[in-house]
Amino acid sequence: MRTADIRSRFLDFFAERGHTVVPSAPLPTPDPTLLFVNAGMVPFKPYLTGEATPPWPRATSVQKCVRTLDIEEVGRTTRHGSFFQMNGNFSFGDYFKEEAITHAWDLSTRPVADGGFGLDPARIWVTVHHSDAESRALWRRVAALPDERIVARGDEDNFWSMGVPGPCGPCSELYYDRGPALGRAGGPAVDEDRYMEFWNLVFMQYERGEGPGKTGYPILGELPRRNIDTGMGLERMATLLQGVDNLYETDETRPVLDRAAELAGVRYGADPADDVRLRVVADHVRTALMLLADGTAPGNEGRGYVLRRILRRAVRSMRQLGYGDPALADLLAVARDRMAPSYPEVAEAYERIADQASGEEDAFRATLKQGTTVLDTAVARVKADGGRQLSGAQAFLLHDTYGFPVDLTLEMAAEQGVEVDREGFTALMRAQRERARADARARRSGSTTDTSALRAVLDEHGPTDWRAWTTLTTESRVLALAGPAGPVPVAREGEIVTAVLDRTPFYAESGGQDSDAGRLSGPSTEAEVLDVQRPLPGLVAHQIRVTAGELAVGDAVHAAVDPEWRLGARQAHSGTHVLHAALREILGPTALQSGSYNRPGYLRLDFPWRGGLSATVRSEVEEAANRALRRDLPVGVRWMTLPEAKELGALALFDETYGEQVRVVEIGGAWSRELCGGTHVEHAAQIGVVALTAESSVGAGMRRLEAAVGIEGFGYLARERDLVTRIAEQVQAPRAELPDRIAALLGRLKAADRENQRLRQAALAARAAELAGQAVDVAGVRVATAAAAGRAGAARALALEVRGHLPTDRPGVAAVTLPGAGPVLAVAVNEAARAAGLSASALVKRLLGGRGGGSDEVAQGGGVPRDQLAEALAGLPEAVRAGVGA
């Protein structure tokens, strides 16, 4: 049975039993504690925790997930994959244990011809929490399981919570016995390779208190509404139903592995080391495909860094397999063909996906080249010093700065007969991970602390009556005030607090649009609105500064958005849509927005593209945008279901979460059609103008356009006009002739600079010849000294030039001081002097009391008072005699 068929069979089974089929959420998640969705329940978290009211009593989904905590284990074991799909069925206060167990057993064992998976009931084992006698009894009654195949386990294995105060409960896991060829008998407690877990049923019935982690926290009591959250690993079920040994050999992954083996000229199963590399490639290529399809772009931090690391591990593994040519586009195409039946968007966006991946591959191949150069230099230095070990710090530098994987450093160093201080590297990596964990803990802690008081407001008063789409003013009541330490009853003049209102006209920052500015006013208060956010689903929170009087909980206030601010915000947001459509019109559909930000008068838009845009292309994009404004295209808003919007061709931002009904903003109908919750103008001409101000790179394969919009756009163009006018006046040329006139001026400047350089070099050579002629004999060594003048580096340049004029058949030393700012002494010795035992580095250190350094050929130093340079130079003859004598 194909994986896509298993997926559809699961959804059909639960749809027939009253579950609403919920599409998979995008992998990037708005949850501040996560980078990607890492479990099937994540999109349902607000409903399971009570933060939001679920729109359905029961639901089912197949959720895309990414986990990278065990990324080093991918390929080494048969159970770790960075991308996986989680089949789930959920009940929100509807059914509980008996129905969940009945559904799981029915679907697992029902014959294939009747819509089930046809697993042999005699080979299924289950685990239950040791305290959960109810589940044990249900498994006996519903499935007729004997006691020996119902295994009791402890909190670590069979009690679920999110690691923080909130819902928790026991769970029951289903395992399938794959036979004695894969391990020992005795059930999942004995061998979890032979007995593969394929479904976990979580029974959320309790509320937990504060505690360290999975154990040791108090149970505060029963939840007012019990929930069901189950997860069936789609890849694991495919492994069982397709009769393969592991998830890398299922129908969605094995073709990528086989293509990688074909490219590299190796055979899967012939070499354990190559098998690991092939599994890494197969897993990581599929993961990268899904992340790129959902709008993640390679970068240096956060989600982008995770994707970059995954892509680089795939490229490196192909290199280790002996394949050095670009491979990602070829491999991604195989993954696309396998994943498209379930996720059509990977085929629709493939051109963009392949382009971004290839750009990252090209960049990493250059990184490998650069890192190899750095590594070779470091290895050569170690050998020159008589050492046999590359320091952990050097290996960490290669890893952290150049993206050079440590195993590649180990391999290449070993090829040159040098070991690597792995313990030192590991210690540095451990320190880096601890810093990252500390940051993550702080982020999670901050999130919990910031929202705890606000959650109580949401529970008591319900969602904010949000009216930003329809009005600029509301009569409102203050429901809560919170300061840095928690709730406060009153905010006084000068204080900055968070205010929650029962209704608000203020737009909360989202979808790339900055929050509104404005004021709250009442009989005894005035307050400035600084920021507006949605810290919890349905709740709008205003950061305010009290400018007069005081504001108390319960006060009635007039909430008013600054109309000029809102007008500018509407122009910028609609301008972003217009620029996006113009970009796609000129560059094609792969120029898909991957991020944006807009505020009054300004917008920026990020999109995948390899290489910068030419001035001609930028002009074409700008012209296409402003043509839409000149045509005064109508701007409309329609509400529809998400499938309807997709059918209509509406573009969605991948880091946004959408409900059952979505808001589609159209500019000129199909010309620009996007899912968007922002505020917009009524007609395109109200935007005024879109003036591109910058185009730059924001990472491999990712570009950024910036523009001024509205009155700020006209201001930008006016400043550009004034600048051109001033330049034209200064160079005394008509505007039309400015490019040619400036090019001619630059040509003359470059010619003059070359002539100046030639004259300086001639003067330097003449000066050096004169100084070399004044050299004195010291113990058979020609010694020339001088004081230089000019910029930093003049002393070294003159010393080298003087040395070049000394006889080559006799030892020669040139020493030059630069007594200006940052006094410097430079020494250069010729080959005959080095053969006589003289070293430039040793001479500098002797003359400057240990300061300075360099090579035996040329060295310099400083750090001494200006008046001591002459004294140091006077000591040169004695230093030369001592050096020759040595």
Query: What's the rounded mean pLDDT across residues 641-658?
Result: 75
> Does residue 793 have a pLDDT over 80?
no
Phi first, then psi: give them for residue 434, nearest 5 degrees: -60, -40
- Domain of 636, CATH number, reads 3.30.980.10
User: Quick one: pLDDT at residue 33?
Assistant: 72
Residue with tokens 């700008």: 622
pLDDT band for position 137 (50/70/90)? very high
DSSP letters spanning 348-395: HTHHHHHHHHHHHHHHHHHHHHHHHHHHHHHHHHHHHTT--EE-HHHH
Which of 561, 590, 607 delimits the end of a domain?
A: 561
Which residue would you say has higher pLDDT here, 96 or 411? 96
User: Quick one: pLDDT at residue 794?
Assistant: 80
Query: What's the rounded mean pLDDT across residues 215-223?
Result: 85
Domain-located, residue 449: no
User: Quick one: pLDDT at residue 227?
Assistant: 95
Which residue would you say has higher pLDDT here, 408 or 188? 188
Question: Do 585 and 707 fall into the same domain?
Answer: yes
- Please name the residues in contact with 176: beta carbons below 8 A apart, sequence gap of 6 or more: 119, 123, 124, 125, 195, 196, 198, 240
Q: Is 168 annotated as a binding residue?
A: no
- Cα(104)–Cα(95) distance, rounded to whole angstroms? 13
* Residue 87 contacts residue 7 (beta carbons within 8 Å): yes
Domain span at residue 539 reads 454-561
Closest alpha carbon to 208 in 171, 161, 170, 157: 161
The pLDDT tens digits for 38-48 are: 899 988 988 88
Domain-located, residue 597: yes
Average pLDDT score, the chain: 88
Cα 405–406–408 angle (5° rounding)? 70
User: Quick one: pLDDT at residue 443?
Assistant: 41
- Domain of 553, CATH number, reads 2.40.30.130
The enclosing H or E element of 454 equals helix 422-461
Domain-located, residue 746: no
Closest alpha carbon to 241 in 75, 87, 80: 87
The structure tokens listed for 163 are 């690691």
Question: Do 132 and 262 fall into the same domain?
Answer: no
Domain-located, residue 188: yes
Query: What's the rounded mean pLDDT across residues 508-528?
Result: 92
- Cα(358)–Cα(431) distance, rounded to whole angstroms? 33
User: Quick one: pLDDT at residue 449?
Assistant: 36
- Domain of 204, CATH number, reads 3.30.930.10
Q: Which of 310-314, 354-358, 414-418, 523-527 has the lowest mean pLDDT?
A: 414-418
Domain-located, residue 429: no
User: Quick one: pLDDT at residue 352?
Assistant: 86
Query: What's the rounded mean pLDDT across residues 426-433?
Result: 76
Which of 686, 719, 752 delimits the end of a domain?
A: 719
Question: Do 595 and 580 fall into the same domain?
Answer: yes
Q: Which of 412-416, 578-582, 670-674, 771-775 has the lowest mean pLDDT?
A: 412-416
Q: Which of 271-280, 535-544, 809-818, 842-851 has the lowest mean pLDDT?
A: 842-851
User: Quick one: pLDDT at residue 882?
Assistant: 86
Which of 197, 228, 245 delimits the end of a domain?
A: 245
pLDDT band for position 440 (50/70/90)? very low
Query: E strands within 616-722?
Result: 635-641, 661-667, 672-675, 690-697, 702-709
Question: Which of 158-172, 666-680, 794-808 shows the highest mean pLDDT?
Answer: 666-680
The structure tokens listed for 768 are 């050096």
Question: Do 188 and 293 fall into the same domain?
Answer: no
Question: Do 500 and 463 fall into the same domain?
Answer: yes
Query: What's the rounded mean pLDDT across residues 600-606?
Result: 94
- Domain of 825, CATH number, reads 3.10.310.40
- Cα(434)–Cα(608) distance, rounded to whole angstroms? 33
* DSSP-derived 3-state class of residue 111: coil
pLDDT band for position 653 (50/70/90)? low
Q: Is 573 annotated as a binding residue?
A: yes
The pLDDT tens digits for 150-203 are: 999 998 889 998 777 888 999 999 999 999 988 899 999 898 889 999 999 999
Question: Do 549 and 573 fall into the same domain?
Answer: no
Question: Do 654 and 580 fall into the same domain?
Answer: yes
- Cα(375)–Cα(394) distance, rounded to whole angstroms? 8
Q: How many structural domains does the chain have? A: 5
Distances from the Cα of 211 to the Cαs of 19, 165, 453, 540, in angstroms?
Answer: 34, 8, 20, 30
Residue with tokens 């083996």: 261
Residue with tokens 């694991």: 236
The pLDDT tens digits for 292-309 are: 998 888 876 778 888 988
Domain-located, residue 708: yes
Question: Do 238 and 264 fall into the same domain?
Answer: no
The pLDDT tens digits for 319-336 are: 889 898 999 999 999 999
Q: How far is CA 462 from the centre of its chain?
A: 34
Q: Which of 11-15, 655-659, 667-671, 810-814 has the lowest mean pLDDT?
A: 655-659
Q: Using H for helix, E for strand and C for coil, what is the string for 461-475?
A: HCCCEECCCCCCEEE
User: Quick one: pLDDT at residue 446?
Assistant: 38
Query: What's the rounded mean pLDDT across residues 8-29?
Result: 93
Domain-located, residue 438: no
Q: What does DSSP assign to residue 809?
A: S
Q: Is 577 annotated as a binding residue?
A: yes
pLDDT band for position 61 (50/70/90)? very high
